[in-house]
């Protein structure tokens, strides 16, 4: 694996991360068709929240209807932010749809180990990270290249990577939702996984096959039972669509 050189800070600047998180806390809550039950915000997925009062009691409130509830909730979250002892603790406070965006803003303040933790965790826990609007495909690839691969993977993943051939066959399943993004960073070593993705949501999607040199694979992730590999999509060769008759319903994947 070759990668771009980046000089990471020797230590994570936790104070700067907390300042960033507190700034994001002040963002307006975005409504959805299912509000107040479902909203969009870096620190809550719902407008209906529990508030910890000063006496330790817990009360329920609606962030959209009561300014005092919104104020109390922000004070609760602010306390959690300020009491966080690690970068990982801060990341866990951020809702999944905003984690890659938080990573983008947090990168200047992270040491390499914490950057690896942020990237691997958010990648595995984000739905369709290849299509996230906060980080372009080019930016994501640059981030993967800038981190030592051994820091991104656990022992089992490193062992699988080491066992790969110099040229690896990979697969990707797409539906009408992401058909335009066939050449993405995320592929799998397991064709049945690709078939599952091509046929989920009841769709009759497409499975692609390609080859990539091992040196252009930047991580192997097993956390979702997908045998996922992160590749440079511009380094794929022999990209082809598997014939329809060879595609099946695939296996069940744990999401």
Query: CB within 8 A of 25, min separation 6: which ones?
Result: 42, 43, 74, 77, 78, 81
**Buried/exposed code over 185-219 (b: 16+ C-beta within 10 A; e: otherwise):** bbbbbbbbbbbbbbbbeeeebbbbbbebbeebbbb
Euclidean distance between CA atoms 216 and 232, whole angstroms = 6
Per-residue pLDDT tens digits for 42-65: 999 999 999 988 777 899 999 999
Q: What pLDDT is attached to residue 22?
A: 98
Mean pLDDT of the chain: 90
- Please give the average per-residue pLDDT across 12-23, as a whole number: 98
Per-residue pLDDT tens digits for 204-223: 889 999 999 999 999 999 98
Q: Which of 32, 229, 225, 56 is nearest to 48 (CA)?
A: 32
Per-residue pLDDT tens digits for 226-235: 999 999 999 9
- Please give the average per-residue pLDDT across 106-135, as a whole number: 91
Q: Which of 208, 232, 224, 210 is nearest to 123 (CA)?
A: 224
Q: What pLDDT is attached to residue 179?
A: 67
Q: Which of 162, 205, 209, 170 is nearest to 190 (CA)?
A: 170
For 87, phi then psi, to 5°, come to: -65, -40
pLDDT higher at 6 or 231: 231
Helix/strand/coil for 61: strand
The end-to-end CA distance of the chain, in Å, is 28
Euclidean distance between CA atoms 169 and 211, whole angstroms = 5
Q: How far is CA 248 from CA 85, 178, 185, 186, 193, in A?
A: 48, 19, 23, 20, 11
Euclidean distance between CA atoms 115 and 130, whole angstroms = 18
Euclidean distance between CA atoms 141 and 230, whole angstroms = 9
Has residue 239 got a pLDDT over 90? yes
Q: Which residues pair with 220 in a beta bridge?
A: 229
């Amino acid at each position: 694996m070759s990668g771009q050189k980046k000089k990471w800070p020797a230590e994570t600047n936790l104070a700067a991360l907390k300042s960033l998180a507190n700034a994001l806390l002040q963002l307006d809550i975005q409504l959805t068709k299912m509000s107040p039950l479902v909203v969009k915000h870096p620190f809550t997925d719902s407008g209906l929240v529990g508030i910890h009062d000063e006496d330790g009691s817990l009360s329920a409130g609606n962030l959209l209807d009561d300014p005092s509830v919104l104020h109390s909730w922000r004070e609760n979250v602010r306390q959690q932010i300020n009491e966080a002892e690690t970068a990982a603790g801060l990341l866990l406070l951020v809702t999944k749809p905003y984690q890659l965006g938080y990573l983008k803003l947090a990168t200047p303040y992270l040491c390499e180990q914490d950057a690896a933790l942020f990237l691997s965790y958010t990648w595995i826990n984000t739905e369709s990270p290849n299509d996230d609007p906060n980080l372009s495909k080019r930016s994501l690839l640059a981030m993967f290249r800038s981190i030592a691969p051994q820091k991104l993977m656990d022992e089992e993943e490193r062992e699988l990577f080491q066992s790969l051939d110099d040229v690896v066959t990979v697969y990707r399943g797409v539906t009408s939702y992401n058909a335009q993004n066939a050449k993405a960073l995320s592929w799998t070593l397991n064709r049945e996984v690709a078939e599952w993705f091509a046929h989920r949501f009841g769709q009759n999607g497409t499975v692609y096959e390609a080859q990539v040199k091992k040196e252009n694979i930047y991580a192997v992730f097993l956390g979702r039972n997908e045998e996922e590999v992160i590749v440079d999509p511009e380094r794929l060769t022999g990209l082809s669509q598997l014939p329809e008759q060879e595609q099946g319903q695939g296996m069940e994947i744990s999401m």
